[in-house]
Every structure is written in structure tokens, then in C-alpha cells.
Structure 1
């Protein structure tokens, strides 16, 4: 394993574990399931069922390269202080798409609550080795079987149409979409009615871990960059901020973007450092 200092658990699919830390069940493309448990600076994975002979969930590591953000020492110090960060890809493309749709035009706290509530009501239950139960994000088939009343009960009546459209289009194109490179997939996802570029980019970043694709002026990046480097006069305009963020990071855009989200995750989860 890599020498990892922090495992980011910003995705709403991560749940508090009974003994501390956070856990998540990943379903890899061949259908096998794995349980991953992290305390932030340590992690472990366990095969569920017959997954031991199958592909494992994929994670990528991120570290701010030497010399990056030299003109922003305050921000560079914050991101460098994370050390090597690992992020597990959302291996189920449908889950990445559905998560991004729920995130459309909503703040993170509200998104997490809706996502959790949706899983609790309609997700498939998975029994874990410690006796706990994990609920997966509802499958496309489950989404299409829900009634209007059930969407209302989950607080997602306003997402009913786009989730149903996404489930229908995904089931039609899933085998081909799985084989596409990230940039191509961004365009293909926008074939879903009411799925715009932001949602497509967010889904593909979650699935591929190519964070150079993430909208550079996203509210989360703007918010946490300001907190990490408060002395700099960051632009308040989304477009101007995005242009500056791209210019500052150049070839290190993916690393800096993910590390900013990881820095935010550390602050909100208050995981102890090594």
C-alpha cells in the first residue's frame, strides 16, 4: 500500500462506523462488493461475499508537487500539510451520476441529508461483518419503480423527473459509457434531459478521479480556498475565480482541486493528524 496520510471521505455515501471512523461499501464493475473503513489516516478493506477473487475498489493518491502554488504560500502550506491523500473512486457509474444529480444547485449539508434519507428509504440493505447494516444508493431499476408519493416522502420530488430520465438513459447506454474516457463521458452524460455540464463534470470526477475536470469556480472550492488562505483577495465572481484557479495551478489542477476538497473534509470531520 502507498504511504497514505489521509483518506478523503467527502462523498455522501460514507457513513459513520459503529466503532469510529467512516465506512462505505463499493460495488466494482463485475458486481463484487467491498467494505472500506477509514479513520482518516488509516484504512482497511474487506471483501463481502465472494469478492475476494474479484477486482478491488480503486483509489488514487494526491500530493501537492514541489514548487506548486509558490505564489500562494499560505494555501500551499495548508495543502502540503495534508501529505499524501487517497481518494477511492465511486466505482459504480450509476451511483456517481445519481449523486451528482442530487447535488445539483444545493449546499453540501443539504445534499448529504437528502442522499442519506434516500438511501435509508429505498437503498438495498447490505449486512456487514460487525452486524451493522449499510444501504446502497438505489439502482436505476429501483428508481424507475418508485412512485411520485415515494419521491415526495424522500424529499426529492423536485428531482423525480431527472432521476427517472437518468435511470432510463443509463440502462440504455451503460455498457458503452463504461468504456469511454472522462472527457467523452462528460459529453455523453449531457444527453440525459436536465443534466447540464456541471452535473456531468461532477459525476465524471467522482467516477474517474480526474479532478482537473471539476468546475474551477465551484462554490466548494471558492469557500474552502478562502478559509485556507484568508489573506489573499480572492475574486468573488465565479468566472473570475475559476480563471484564476486554473492559471494558478496549471498542470497541477487535479491535485490542487482534490487536495482543497480534502482539506475541507479534514476540517469538517476533525480527524486527528499523525
Structure 2
């Protein structure tokens, strides 16, 4: 079993750690041979969901070399982000920049404005109310000036509509959040995949999926544009569950981090 730690909240260590929130609790996660979750402080919430994606869940239309690579890799575990606000804000942080830059920015933001834990572990992601109270200098001091407007807009929208959003099915919510300024299809899809574990919602035409599909099957003349690639990718799966497994397992071919630079 492998663990994919693609979310930038994971620390860059031999055994990455991450802090996640549920509705009334905080949890520390450790990614070793498997995922270990520990509640911090009081609370009765269930632990955040951990999804397992297996080559046995794949459809029958996958190119032979790609299937062989995914079967050799084996099952992959991934921790969901339980907090929709954090998932949305994280997808905004990931916009345009490289994965390593997004991790550095995420942790700087948490260290400066997040909630420290009473026990050892990374600080929890800042609440939307905290983000709304920050000024230009707060963002500029962290090298995040260009993230200020989309994060402020998302924080305001979440405070206003977050309760309603939580009641919407994923296929409706992925469209709803795009009404927020500077939230496009990539950001919305990455948000919903992160919070639901359903990577049929992920923008699977992006560079990371294209890169590792081509690496596993160099014999195929893969499309280089997102739209055409996405149509090909969908044709390899008969169900959303098969498409989700195919996408996560392919991202995991890139190693535990699973991600390359996302497109704009």
C-alpha cells in the first residue's frame, strides 16, 4: 500500500505530517507505510475519510503499458480534506505555481495566521474570518500578494454561502463555486476532488496526469492539449469510480507527492 501526499499541507519529511480539521475537531495525520490519524484535544467528530484506490477498480479500456504500471504500483491511500473552506483555499494557493512553491506558501500562511495546536504538529489552516481580516502587507510579507484577491473573495463567499454549499451535491457545487471571482474549472475541480475523494471531478486533463500517463505509456501519441486529452482519458473508464481510480493511481506514479505544476 502506498500513501499519496499530494495536498500541500503535508510537511516535506521522510514521514510527512499534516493537520486537518473536521467540523468540531482537529486531527494530526502521519503518512508512513499507512495513514495514522490522531485527534487533538476534545471532540466527537469522526476522523477524516481515507480513500483507497486500487488497480482492481480500473476499467477494461486502459492502454496496456499504463495498466501494467498501475498494477505494479498497487493500491494507493489518500486522506480527504474534510473542511471545504480549506480545500477551496488550498486550490487557490495551488493555482499557476509549482507544487513545491505551493507547499512552501501553504505552510508559511499557516505558521503566520493559522491556529497552533496544543500538541506538536503543523498549525491548522487559517479560518475564512482570519483571512478576511488580513491586509495587503500581511499577504505581501509572505510573498502572497497575488493570492490576496482570490483568497479574500473566496473567504467572503464561504462565510456567506458555505452552509448552503455544504448541502449541495458535488456535481452542482463544482459549478456553484465558479461564481466566486477567480475560481475557474481547474480550481473548482481540484477543490471538489480533494473534499470528496472523487477524482472523476478532478481536472484530469492537467499537466500532472498527462505527464505520468505519457511516462507510463511512451508508445502512445498522447494529445498535448487539455481538452483532447481529457476526452481520451474519459474513454478509458465506464464509470466515475473507474475514472477516479485511474486518475489518482496515475498521479501516484509521480511519487508520494503525486503532483507536477498545475496549469493556470
Whether TM exceeds 0.5 here: the answer is yes
Deviation at 1:87, TM superposition (A): 1.3
Query: What is the distance in 1 between the residues matched to 2:21 and 2:257?
Result: 28
Matches within 5 A, 1:69-148: 71-128=62-119, 132-148=120-136
Q: Does residue 246 of structure 2 align to residue 253 of structure 1?
A: no
Do the aligned residues in 1 keep the contact of 2:21 with 2:124 (CA within 8 Å)?
no
- What 5-or-longer segments of structure 2 have no aligned partner? 260-264
Question: How far is 1:145 from its partner?
Answer: 1.1
Any residues of structure 2 matched to 1:1-274 within 5 Å, and which? 5-16=1-12, 20-29=14-23, 31-39=24-32, 41-51=33-43, 53-65=44-56, 68=59, 71-128=62-119, 132-251=120-239, 252-266=242-256
More contact order relative to length (CA 8 Å, sep ≥ 6): 2
List gaps (5 residues or longer) in structure 1.
270-274
Counterparts of 2:258 and 2:95, CA distance in 1: 21
Q: Alignment partner of 2:89: what SS?
A: helix
Compared CA separation, residues 193 and 214, structure 1 to 2 (3 A) = same
CA distance in 2: counterparts of 1:211 and 1:147, whole angstroms: 35
TM-score by length of 1: 0.87
1:233-253, Cα deviation, whole Å (9 max, x unpaired): 212222221111111233211
RMSD across aligned C-alpha pairs, in angstroms? Answer: 2.0
Taking structure 2 as the reference length, the TM-score comes to 0.90
The answer to whether the Cα contact below 8 Å between 1:74 and 1:228 also exists between their aligned partners in 2 is yes
Q: How many residues align?
A: 257
Per-residue deviation, residues 82-118 of structure 1 (Å, max 9, x unmatched):
3222211100110000001111222222222222222
Residue 268 of structure 1 and its aligned partner are, at CA, apart by: 6.9
CA deviations 1:20-72 (Å, max 9, x no partner) are 4111122112x211222111x22322121113x33111112111237735551
The more displaced of 104-113 and 208-217 is 104-113
CA distance in 1, matches of 2:257, 2:178: 33
Deviation at 1:133, TM superposition (A): 3.6
In 1, the alpha carbon distance for the partners of 2:137 and 2:36 equals 39
